[in-house]
């Protein structure tokens, strides 16, 4: 297993399981449990996904089945826009903890910057309070552009450890990655496989054939080799295992360049500059 170290000295697994668009039923529970049994130690949840209850059950069953402790896992959730505002953060955090059946989170993120800079800053103060009271191990942001980060870093007393954004070979976010590197904030990619769209790409498939790996493994390894944490989503046991079997190879410079050259600045999600829930 690979770890990435944050600026505060804490570590996060480089690959985790995403659960976006997974129903709040045994499919979610079984996927999380199987991931933990297969070696995953990072699970990425969010209140707005509406499945924290079953994800939590999967965490509990996975801990038991893998014979590990809660402290061996790294669990993320996210604050939704409806709960923004400094005075709402703690209650929303506790709501997610209750749904997940946990005592603490390893990482709590602002899910989107929103379109109100003052509200964004006010909300971040609420996350800082959670962190300063040692109620959460790490705090970060999601879907923040450079403009949002400039505003935040100008006022923040606790710097985010991470920015979770859309990132794949069709959206390489080079400027944002360079900015995050400069400020020692890690990047994490959501939906790295583009809902399987990128797996049809000819270049991706040619590289997969060259190195005898699957297209998904190529993309996940491309993330790792760019020092980007990633959380591919799957509910299929064989794919969950395949997506994690990426630590015994790396891509060479030419292959990385071929994948980088696929950039089209193409998003499958909303534009963070405009999205407000």
* Annotated active-site residue in 40, 49, 131, 179: 49
Query: What is the DSSP-derived secondary structure letter of residue 106?
Result: S
Query: What does each C-alpha distance from 43 to 15, 183, 230, 233, 241 come to in angstroms?
Result: 9, 25, 11, 10, 14
Using 50 as the pLDDT threshold, list the residues of the chain that sit under it: none
For 227-251, how does the pLDDT look when each residue is reduced to its tens digit (9 = 90+)? 999 999 999 999 999 999 999 999 9
- In the numeric block, the tokens 């997940």 are attached to 100
Query: Rg for the chain (alpha carbons), in Å?
Result: 18
End-to-end CA distance of the chain: 35
pLDDT for 128 equals 98
Angle at CA 101, nearest 5°, toward 95 and 103? 80
Catalytic: 104?
Answer: no
Joined together, the tokens standing for residue 277 give: 């829930």
Joined together, the tokens standing for residue 61 give: 């069953």
pLDDT for 17 equals 98
CATH class belonging to 11-197+229-236:
alpha beta
pLDDT for 173 equals 97
pLDDT for 10 equals 98
pLDDT for 93 equals 98
> Got the DSSP string for 201-240?
-HHHHHHHHHHT--HHHHHHHHHHHTTEEE--B---HHHH
pLDDT for 258 equals 98
Beta pairing, strands 42-44 & 17-18: parallel
Residue 250's φ and ψ, nearest 5 degrees, are -145, 165
pLDDT for 94 equals 98
Return the domain boundaries, the chain: 11-197+229-236
pLDDT for 1 equals 72
């Amino acid at each position: 297993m690979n770890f990435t170290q944050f600026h505060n000295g804490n570590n996060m697994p480089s690959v985790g399981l995403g659960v976006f668009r997974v129903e709040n039923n045994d499919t979610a529970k079984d996927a999380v449990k199987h991931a933990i049994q297969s070696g995953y130690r990072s699970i990425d949840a969010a209140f707005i996904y509406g499945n924290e209850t079953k994800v939590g059950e999967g965490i509990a069953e996975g801990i038991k089945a893998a014979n590990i402790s809660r402290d061996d896992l790294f669990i993320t959730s996210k604050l939704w826009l409806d709960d923004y505002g400094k005075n709402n953060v703690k209650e929303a955090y506790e709501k997610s903890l209750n749904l997940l059946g946990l005592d603490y989170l390893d990482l709590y993120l602002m899910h989107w910057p929103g379109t109100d800079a003052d509200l964004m800053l006010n909300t971040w103060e609420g996350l800082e309070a959670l962190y300063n009271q040692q109620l959460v191990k790490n705090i970060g942001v999601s879907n923040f552009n450079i403009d949002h980060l400039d505003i935040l870093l100008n006022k923040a007393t606790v710097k985010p450890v991470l920015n979770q954004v859309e990132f794949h070979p069709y959206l390489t976010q080079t400027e944002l990655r360079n900015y995050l590197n400069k400020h020692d904030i890690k990047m994490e990619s959501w939906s790295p496989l583009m809902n399987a769209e990128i797996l049809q790409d000819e270049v991706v498939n040619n590289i997969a054939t060259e190195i005898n790996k699957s297209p998904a493994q190529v993309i996940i390894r491309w993330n790792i080799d760019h020092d980007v944490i990633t959380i591919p989503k799957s509910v299929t046991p064989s794919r969950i295992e395949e997506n994690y079997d990426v630590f015994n190879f790396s891509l060479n410079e030419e292959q990385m360049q071929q994948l980088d050259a696929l950039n089209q600045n193409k998003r499958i999600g909303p534009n963070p500059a405009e999205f407000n829930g």
